[in-house]
Amino acid sequence: MALTRSQSALVEQRLAELSKEVQDNIRKTMPKPADEKSLDRAGAGLDSGEEAVNSVQEEFDHALHERYLAEFRQLEAAQARVASGEIDQCADCSGEIGAERLLAYPLAKRCIDCQERHEKASRGTAAPKP
Ligand SMILES: [Zn+2]
């Protein structure tokens, strides 16, 4: 059974909330334009030690920024799947993902069985979780 209209509306709402959060995060980690950066530095009169700290922070923000952008693309894809009514369809077996799973994790692309199989298959190549 596909999602009911109200379940699909709930998933859509969750996706919209997540999307807003991610867009906020994207804005917060947005790299500064180069000229603004040099103005900052000239203005603050940083020595080379402080510059190094800044560039570590920038790299960190950059990595986060990339991650948020990737998340945003996933959210967009999920929103398109809600719009086309495919959100409940497993990418692997074309079975149902299930409303409960989608509401807990709106970015789910696989049913729980396929997800477990997928995780087992990719284990070993993936970095160990802390
Ligand atoms: Zn499946």
Domains of the chain with CATH codes: 5-122 (1.20.120.910)
Centre of ligand 1 from the C-alpha of residue 13, in Å? 24
Centre of ligand 1 from the C-alpha of residue 98, in Å? 10
Scanning the chain, the segments in alpha helix (DSSP H) are: 5-28, 34-44, 48-83, 99-104, 112-122
Between the two ends of the chain, the Cα-to-Cα distance in Å is 38
Centre of ligand 1 from the C-alpha of residue 109, in Å? 9
Cα–Cα distance for residue pair 62/64, rounded to 1 Å: 5
Cα–Cα distance for residue pair 59/51, rounded to 1 Å: 12
Q: What is the pTM of this model?
A: 0.74
Reduced to 3 states, what is the DSSP secondary structure of residue 96?
strand
Cα–Cα distance for residue pair 5/1, rounded to 1 Å: 12
Centre of ligand 1 from the C-alpha of residue 6, in Å? 23
CB 105 within 8 A of CB 96: no
pLDDT digits (tens), the chain, 130 positions? 579 999 999 999 999 999 999 999 999 998 877 666 555 655 566 677 777 778 888 889 999 999 999 999 999 999 999 999 999 999 999 999 999 999 999 999 999 999 999 999 988 665 555 5
